């Protein structure tokens, strides 16, 4: 009996960890029911190679932006540049962008400037913003809320592992929370409780591969097939059967990443 289909909403298939293995990785994902994935470009100069991966596989889409940890080293993106990239039929999101004060707090100012540029691009394109947030909850909630008051945009808090307060701020703005392998770690009960308090219609699942492999693969290289392990934990968190959780999170993905859903129907 085939596995229920599910989406890996955030992975990094261009990373060298996957060199020479991408076809096998896509095949293993399909066997696990992961028929679609969004591969994320974190430095805009690398966009052509990320785009090529999406173009080579029917079920792979992509997004691009400047990761906050690279914001001080990479040229500042422009709204026009991001809008131009978005014209590609398989370009489905803006980012990842955001704030990371864990490793790169010294570049907070340029990270915030970069974040606001990406938000404006999300507004202009209608594509969802993909947010990375680490140890920056107050500034993140403030900027997302300020900018939303200026003009609405859609957003997912990728690999959400922040506070209940930031979760509430994001949900209050109509945003989505994405569950990664972190939520499946045994010591992550507090995080699972935050997810459990959220509406199921605002939840996505992801791997963030090659990082953060969920049990039983923790400590090893993550890959999109392992989305299913995190999703099984998600089903337990929300008290539903796995096929329902897979179906609901897929519906959520299609609602937020409407361009990917439309491409699927047109293909």
Q: Binding site: which residues?
A: 10, 12, 96, 132, 158, 208
Alpha-carbon gap, residue 35 to 124, rounded angstroms: 29
- Per DSSP, helices labelled H in the chain are 22-31, 47-56, 79-85, 108-125, 137-150, 164-172, 189-196, 227-238, 242-256, 258-266
Q: Within its chain, how far is the Cα of 240 from the centroid?
A: 23
- How far, in Å, CA of 68 to CA of 70, rounded? 5
Q: Which residues contribute to the annotated binding site for a divalent metal cation?
A: 10, 12, 96, 132, 158, 208
Contact present, 199 and 227 (Cβ < 8 Å): no
Closest residue by Cα to residue 214 from 178, 191, 180, 237: 180
Question: What values do phi and psi take at 88, rounded to 5?
Answer: -65, 135
């Amino acid at each position: 009996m085939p596995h229920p289909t599910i989406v890996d909403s955030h992975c990094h298939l261009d990373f060298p960890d996957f060199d020479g293995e991408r076809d096998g990785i896509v095949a293993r994902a399909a066997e696990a029911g992961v028929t679609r994935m969004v591969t994320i470009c974190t430095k805009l100069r690398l966009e052509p190679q990320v785009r090529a991966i999406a173009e080579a596989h029917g079920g792979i889409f992509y997004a691009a932006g400047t990761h906050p940890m690279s914001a001080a080293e990479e040229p500042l993106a422009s709204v026009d540049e991001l809008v131009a990239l978005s014209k590609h039929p398989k370009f489905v999101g803006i980012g990842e962008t955001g704030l990371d004060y864990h490793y790169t707090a010294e570049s907070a100012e340029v990270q915030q400037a970069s974040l606001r540029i990406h938000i404006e691009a999300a507004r202009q394109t209608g594509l969802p913003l993909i947010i990375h947030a680490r140890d920056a909850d107050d500034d993140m909630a403030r900027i997302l809320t300020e900018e939303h008051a200026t003009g609405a945009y859609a957003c997912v808090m990728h690999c959400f592992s922040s506070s209940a307060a930031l979760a509430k701020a994001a949900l209050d703005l109509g945003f989505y929370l994405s569950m990664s392998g972190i939520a499946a770690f045994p010591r992550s009960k507090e995080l699972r409780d935050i997810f459990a308090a959220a509406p199921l219609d605002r939840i996505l699942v992801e791997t963030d591969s090659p990082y953060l492999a969920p049990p039983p693969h923790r400590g090893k290289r993550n890959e999109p097939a392992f989305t299913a392990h995190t999703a099984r934990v998600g089903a337990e968190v929300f008290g539903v059967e796995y096929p329902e959780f897979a179906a609901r999170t897929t519906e959520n993905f299609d609602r937020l990443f409407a361009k990917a859903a439309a491409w699927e129907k047109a293909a």
